């Protein structure tokens, strides 16, 4: 099922629905983390929202072979975990804001995002995908100077500015994606393809990530896991490319969807 979260044009409420087209959805009744069904009640979408409010946003760095090489890093022996804080969550179509303190360093990273559907602890690789509710597109927006130097050595600071985690537009349920490690994934900046790869290039595949992250640790329903980005990020290009006001950035993943956001400068605070 193609699940969206949206503002309902008639009631003004936030609803979940099965997407029918750009403007309409079948209302979902129930809890998407328990029992739910799409009803026959068709409503108009006033605005698309990120497909869920995440319980946590866990992220994996350096998880594509060719991306690890372009950064000059060794291939990691274990998954590299960092977090994005939930304030960074952002809706499809809403502008990514370049912070006043990060004017020429903000970069894009297309990523396949996993949404965990039920509590997952000490999960084996062989049944890890049973814990996945579905998949969506993410853009792991990153302020590179804050990531490397300004954040005290921890990536979290440079990855967690407001608007730095666009997610969506749809959550595609896991039954429709039998092999999440065989999907084309791209970033398009102002019409030009910047990243063009496949999730088959991941060093640690999705079952391995769920096994690793769930050791002694409960992955709560609604946990979103960003699974790393392929080669072609802006800072590794010659010359480097950073996002600027007026840009439009799209993450596109085969069978999952297209996540587009404009880019704007911050409005100076008085
Ligand atoms: Mg990333």
pLDDT in tens, 170-202: 999 999 999 999 999 999 999 999 999 999 999
Q: How confident is the model at residue 258 (pLDDT cuts 50, 70, 90)?
A: very high
Distance 20 CA to ligand 1 centre (A): 31
**Cis check: omega of the bond before 239, within 30 degrees of 0:** yes
Distance 111 CA to ligand 1 centre (A): 7
The pLDDT > 90 percentage for the chain reads 93
Whether the pLDDT of residue 3 is over 90: the answer is: yes
Q: Indicate yes or no: pTM above 0.95.
A: yes
> Tokens 């946003």 identify what position?
57
Whether the pLDDT of residue 157 is over 90: the answer is: yes
Q: How confident is the model at residue 153 (pLDDT cuts 50, 70, 90)?
A: confident
Cβ contacts of 90 within 8 Å, gap of 6 or more: 50, 96, 163, 164, 165, 166, 167, 261
What is the three-class DSSP state of 62?
A: coil
Distance 29 CA to ligand 1 centre (A): 34
Distance 228 CA to ligand 1 centre (A): 5
Distance 13 CA to ligand 1 centre (A): 32
* CATH fold label, 57-265: Fumarylacetoacetate hydrolase; domain 2 (3.90.850)
**Cis check: omega of the bond before 169, within 30 degrees of 0:** yes
Whether the pLDDT of residue 73 is over 90: the answer is: no
Distance 187 CA to ligand 1 centre (A): 13
pLDDT of 270 reads 63
Round to whole Å and give the CA distance between 241 and 142: 12
Distance 230 CA to ligand 1 centre (A): 9
Phi, psi of 54 (to 5 degrees): -70, 145
84-116 pLDDT per residue, tens: 999 999 999 999 999 999 999 999 999 999 999
Averaged pLDDT score across all residues of the chain: 97
Distance 72 CA to ligand 1 centre (A): 16
Distance of CA 183 to the CA centre of its chain: 15
Distance 266 CA to ligand 1 centre (A): 23
Neighbours of ion ligand 1 (CB under 5 A): 109, 140, 229
Q: How confident is the model at residue 71 (pLDDT cuts 50, 70, 90)?
A: confident
> Tokens 């946990």 identify what position?
223
Burial of 100: CB neighbours in 10 Å, binned 0-12, 13-18, 19+: exposed
Cβ contacts of 63 within 8 Å, gap of 6 or more: 76, 79, 80, 202, 203, 204, 209, 227, 228, 229
- Taking the domains of the chain in order of start, what are their residue ranges? 2-49, 57-265
């Amino acid at each position: 099922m193609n699940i969206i979260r949206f503002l309902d044009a008639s009631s003004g409420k936030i609803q979940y629905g099965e997407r029918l087209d750009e403007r309409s959805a079948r209302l979902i009744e129930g809890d998407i983390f328990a029992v739910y069904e799409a009803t026959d009640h068709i409503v108009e979408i006033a605005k698309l929202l990120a497909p869920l409010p995440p319980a946590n946003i866990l992220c994996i760095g350096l998880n594509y072979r060719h991306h690890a090489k372009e950064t000059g890093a060794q291939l990691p022996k274990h998954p590299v975990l960092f977090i994005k804080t939930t304030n960074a969550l952002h809706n499809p179509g809403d502008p990514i804001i370049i912070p006043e303190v990060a004017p020429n360093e903000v970069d894009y990273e297309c990523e396949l995002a996993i949404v965990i559907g039920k509590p997952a602890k000490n999960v084996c690789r062989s049944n890890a995908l049973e814990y996945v509710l579905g998949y969506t597109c993410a853009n792991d927006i990153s302020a590179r100077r804050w990531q490397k130097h300004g954040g005290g050595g921890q990536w979290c600071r440079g990855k967690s500015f407001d608007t730095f985690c666009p997610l969506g537009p749809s959550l595609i349920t896991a039954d429709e994606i039998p092999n999440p490690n065989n999907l084309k994934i791209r970033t398009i900046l102002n019409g030009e393809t910047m990243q063009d790869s496949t999730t088959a290039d991941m060093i640690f595949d999705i079952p391995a990530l769920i096994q690793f992250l769930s050791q002694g640790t409960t992955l709560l329903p609604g946990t979103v896991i960003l699974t790393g980005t392929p080669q072609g990020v802006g800072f590794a290009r010659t010359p480097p490319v950073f996002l600027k006001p007026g840009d439009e950035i799209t993450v596109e993943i085969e069978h999952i969807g297209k996540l587009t956001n404009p880019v704007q400068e911050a409005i100076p605070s008085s």
